Amino acid sequence: MPVITATIRQHTMRAHLPGRPTVRAASSVEHQAMLASRLTTRDKWLLALLHEHRVLTTHQIRDAAFPSGRSTRQRLRDLYLWRAVSRFQPFQQFGSAPMHYVLGPAGAAVLAAEHGLDITELGYRHDRAMAIAHNQRLAHTVGVNDFFTSLIARTRHTHAPETVEAWWSETRCARHFGDLVIPDSYGRWRTETPGGDMREVEWFLEFDTGTESLTKVSRKLTGYARLAESTGITTPLLIWLPTTRREAGARTALARVHAQLDNPHAVPVATAAADLLNPSTPHPSPAEAVWLPLTSARAHRAAPRYRLAELPEAWPGLAPPAEPSDDSSEAGQVQAASPYRLPPPSPIPPRATPNRLARGES
């Protein structure tokens, strides 16, 4: 029957959707008891990842932890209905944007309880979590997270002995280094050589979306120089740019500032561009040979690009990263974090539970 001749009430149009508990009900003892019997180890890992990195898309969650898009959507639907996660879909002029997920009130209550905290001590508020939907830095945050989830996807789907050892958010970096510089992220990558030796590289990431002036991007080197002088630790700075054309301009500006530093060797820099990746290859990622050290700024344009694991070879004097348990390293400084902050979640997801594997929901 045409709608114009038969009025349909709005609530009946939504009747097919399962109900969701209110925010208050999601934090109730009864709801938490229900979640205790349904949330898997991987679910709780995902909640911690959302708390650390603010927002992840459906594609990023699939790349990081699930074997297929179908299983990703099914599980995220459950977590959404339980208010463990919340979601939104940004406006996109052409096509449809993927669903974006943030930590929900029930998920925050689970995380807080796991660490013996009140939800206020966790620093969580649902309205603040959802505010990223309208934040001007949404695309930037999603881009940084895509950088790392593509690395995780590579470790999960290739037979190469590689792994992401650390992935810190901008917020965590700000707590540790914010008086000097605020990196977009901190990462650590480990790979095994054909001879059986383990090789590691750590870095601070500056993710450029093309909206900042190249002068502003290059001036960040002075902050990293102050950080290296203050800590006595030399940590490479990786700058990811959208195109090789912008990369060329950035390298000119960076080389000018880098040469004026008191100790340029304390700030190793390498650049890469997103359009160097081949989207038709399976699991393209920043681990590929796309990195050009700034030491090559005056070299021939055909200077070879390095794989992520090979970057230490570009800086012969670079000391290997300290072990994470060593408080002298950036990764070791997590011990100095506020007691009301959670430790950084492992970038590697736990295995799916056997009962879900048996039901084909891995």
Q: What is the pLDDT of residues 304-355, one digit of tens each?
A: 899 999 999 999 989 888 765 433 344 434 333 455 578 999 999 998 776 5
Give the model's pLDDT for residue 355. 52
**What residues have CB less than 8 Å from 130, skipping those under 6 apart?**
86, 88, 102
Q: What whole-number distance in Å separates Cα of residue 73 and Cα of residue 183?
A: 32
Containing structural domain, residue 92: 9-135
**Tally of domains in the chain:** 2
Residue 357 has pLDDT above 50, yes or no: no
Tokens read off for 287: 């681990």
**Nearest Cα residue to 170 out of 219, 213, 132:** 132
Tokens read off for 113: 């309880």
Q: 44 and 36 in contact (C-beta within 8 Å)?
A: no
Tell whether 103 and 154 lie within a shared domain: no
Cβ-defined contacts of 355-362 (< 8 Å, 24+) = 356/40, 361/71, 361/74, 361/75, 362/66, 362/67, 362/71
Tell whether 196 and 265 lie within a shared domain: yes
**Which of 109, 135, 161 is a domain's end point?**
135
**Nearest Cα residue to 165 out of 346, 354, 287, 362:** 346
Tell whether 117 and 150 lie within a shared domain: no
Tell whether 283 and 149 lie within a shared domain: yes
Tell whether 155 and 115 lie within a shared domain: no
pLDDT tens digits, one per residue of 102-161? 999 999 999 999 999 988 889 899 999 999 999 999 999 999 999 999 999 999 988 778
Report the interhelical angle of 58-65 vs 41-53 (nearest 10°). 130
249 within a domain of the structure (yes/no): yes
Q: 358 and 348 in contact (C-beta within 8 Å)?
A: no
Q: Which residue has the higher pLDDT, 27 or 287?
A: 287
Residue 172 has pLDDT above 70, yes or no: yes
Tell whether 73 and 142 lie within a shared domain: no
Q: What whole-number distance in Å separates Cα of residue 335 and Cα of residue 14?
A: 48
Tell whether 27 and 85 lie within a shared domain: yes
360 within a domain of the structure (yes/no): no
Q: What whole-number distance in Å separates Cα of residue 151 and Cα of residue 164?
A: 7
175 within a domain of the structure (yes/no): yes
Give the model's pLDDT for residue 195. 77
| Stated pTM of the model | 0.87
Query: Residue 20: pLDDT band by 50, 70, 90 thresholds?
Result: confident
**Which of 82, 110, 135 is a domain's end point?**
135
Tell whether 172 and 274 lie within a shared domain: yes
Tokens read off for 193: 């050589």
Tell whether 190 and 251 lie within a shared domain: yes
348 within a domain of the structure (yes/no): no
pLDDT tens digits, one per residue of 30-57? 999 999 999 999 999 999 999 999 999 9
The helix/strand/coil state of 26 is helix
Query: Residue 301: pLDDT band by 50, 70, 90 thresholds?
Result: low
DSSP per-residue codes, 252-277: HHHHHHHHTSS-GGGS-EEEEEGGGS
Tell whether 159 and 199 lie within a shared domain: yes
204 within a domain of the structure (yes/no): yes
**Which of 112, 135, 158 is a domain's end point?**
135
345 within a domain of the structure (yes/no): no
336 within a domain of the structure (yes/no): no
pLDDT tens digits, one per residue of 220-268? 999 999 999 999 999 999 999 999 999 999 999 999 999 999 999 999 9
| CATH code of residue 22 | 1.10.10.10
Secondary structure element (H or E) that encloses residue 239, with its range? strand 237-241
DSSP 121: T
The helix/strand/coil state of 124 is coil
337 within a domain of the structure (yes/no): no
Tell whether 148 and 113 lie within a shared domain: no
Tell whether 24 and 157 lie within a shared domain: no
When pLDDT is averaged across residues 163-186 and rounded to a whole number, the result is 95
